[in-house]
Structure 1
Amino acid sequence: MPFNFTVSPDFAPDHMSGWFYFNTWLQRNLGTDIHLELFDSFDAQRDAIKAGQVDLIYANPYDASMLVRELGFKAVARPAGKKDEAVIVVPANSQAEAVEDLEAGVRLATTDDPDVHTIGMIMLEPADLDASNISQKDYDTYILVAKALLRGEADVGFFLKQGFDELSDLIKKQMRVLVSSQISVVHHALLVGPQMQDCMAELKALVTQMHKDEKGIGVLESMGIKEFESMSTEQTEFMIDLIDTLTI
């Protein structure tokens, strides 16, 4: 039976092929069968995780807590220089110049990306806004959040900063960032489950050196990642503790 690999659904659509290239690269270098399955939503992915159908995952920081502390996953590596920050965005013609200018009843467009939504809600607190006095609509992707803002269906939107930066210049010019988080220590991570942990040492060596391999460099570029760096247990626990603190 092949191992099962999946990727947090918040990656940019342009990088979808990159994850398939990465999976092929892993199989060749590990000498084992790995099946990549991508999910359309976080809920569908979590159902697969809880059903024991995932052995390797490029996980968002929010889900890392469940994976590590409840299901026995271990961190292998993290993308160097890629931090998970959230931004609050408004249409370019919005009267709001700062978060404090937003008022009760504001229409929020967001996704089910849990860490981004959590951080976004924290950044709304200076305006005395919370779930009780805003109108929220969830969208499947950041592109749809952007469309909601541009069509006048929402007043404000939450984005993963990287997701916003990867939108086309044409779309970004029609929006404006009010505020960006500066947490710095929250990031995605490559985690390996109990059934695949016999391969962990070899897997870590491979991915943290792939930026030195000609084919590996091309694969990384297709994923929008410069290189992977090793992630220790201490670094993993620190990030999980921070996320848990934010979600209390």
Structure 2
Amino acid sequence: MTFNFTVSPSFPNERISDWYIFNTWLQRALSVPIHLELYNSFGDQRAAIAEGKVDIIYANPFDASLLVREKGFRALARPEGQPDEMVIVAAAGSTVQAIPELRAGARLACSDDPCVNTVGRILLEPANLDAGNVVEHRRETYIQVAREILRGEADIGFLPVEAFEALSTIVRRDLRVLVTSQLHVIHHVFLIGPALQPRADEITGLLVSMHESDKGRGILEALGARSWQAVQQEDVEFMIDIISTLTQ
């Protein structure tokens, strides 16, 4: 049986090859065939999840909530280090210096990342902005979001901190961070579906010890992580409760 693995589309495009390398490592470590399928959008990925085409996933916090509560997935590990945060950015030359200075009709560039967009809308509340009084420009990639701002086609944009930091120095120089989220408790997580759960302890062990070999450490560094950290069910449930509160 071949298992299907996918990754949240929020990662930078330059890491596509690194995820294929990780997939090869995982296949060999488990001695099972694993097919990596990367989707261009969150909508396409959710459709695959709904159709039962995903057995393993590195998921954003929003989708982790769906997978654990509704699809019977089990969260095993998350990257050690900083939690997922996002920024709202404007052009460096913009007259807007802070969120409360934004006005109704502001043009917003964003992807279809539900977690980033949910947190971003909360951060816009001091300006009394919501879906009804902003002009939203949906884009497929975070590079396109940044480009819209630099071209003056959008006033602000939503970006994960990781995506913002992955932009070139020149691009970051021409952007201004208006606000950074400080939730501290939400993370991308590595999950497995029901078919692999008899091997949950084995997979967790492989992940959390990955950094102990030179090869494993090199793969992790290419993916922007130092190591995997095992997650406890109560921590996952707490994160899911936070996501549920944010989306109400």
Indicate the TM-score class for this superposition, using the shorter chain for normalisation: over 0.9
Q: Which runs of 4+ in 1 moved over 6 A?
A: none
Question: Which amino acid in the other structure matches residue 242 of structure 2?
Answer: L
**Helix, strand or coil at the partner of 1:94:** coil
In the alignment, which residue of structure 2 is the partner of 1:37?
37
Q: How does 1:56-135 map to 2 (within 5 A)?
A: 56-135=56-135
Superposition TM-score, scaled by structure 2 size = 0.99
Aligned residues: 248
The reply to whether residue 10 of structure 1 matches residue 2 of structure 2 is no
**Could you tell me whether the CA contact under 8 Å between 1:17 and 1:222 is conserved in 2?**
no
SS in structure 1 of the partner of residue 152 of structure 2:
coil
Q: In structure 2, what residue type is equivalent to 1:44?
A: D
Aligned pairs for 1:1-248 (under 5 A) are 1-248=1-248
State the Cα deviation string for residues 42-89 of structure 1 (Å, max 9, x = none).
Answer: 000000001000000000000011100000000010000131111110
In the TM superposition, what whole-angstrom CA distance separates every residue of 1:16-55 from its partner, at most 9, and x where no partner exists?
1111111100111111111100000000000000100000
Flag structure 1 segments of 5+ consecutive residues without an equivalent.
none
The separation in 2 between residues aligned to 1:128 and 1:121, in whole angstroms, is: 10
Q: CA deviation at 1:214?
A: 1.4
Amino acid in structure 2 at the alignment position of 1:88: I
Distance in 2 (alpha carbons) for counterparts of 1:235 and 1:12 = 27
- Taking the aligned partners of 1:84 and 1:31, their CA distance within structure 2 comes to 32
Letter in 2 for 1:149: I
Asked whether the equivalents of residues 16 and 223 of structure 1 are also in contact (C-alpha less than 8 Å), the reply is no
Q: Gapped runs of 5+ residues in structure 2?
A: none
Corresponding residue SS for 2:167: coil
Deviation at residue 199 of structure 1 after TM alignment: 1.7
- What SS is found at the alignment partner of 2:148? helix
State the alpha-carbon separation in 1 of the partners of residues 117 and 84 from structure 2. Answer: 12
One-letter amino acid of the counterpart of residue 215, structure 1: K
* d(CA) in 1 for partners of 2:23, 2:121: 35
Aligned-residue RMSD, C-alpha: 0.7
- Aligned residue identity for 2:151: R
Query: Which AA in structure 2 matches 1:41?
Result: S
Q: When the two structures are superposed, what TM-score results if normalisation uses the length of structure 1? A: 0.99
CA deviations on 1:170-222 (whole Å, 9 max, x unpaired) are 10111100000000011100000001112211100000000001110111112
Residue type at the aligned position of 2:130: D
The whole-number CA distance in structure 1 between the counterparts of 2:31 and 2:214 is: 19
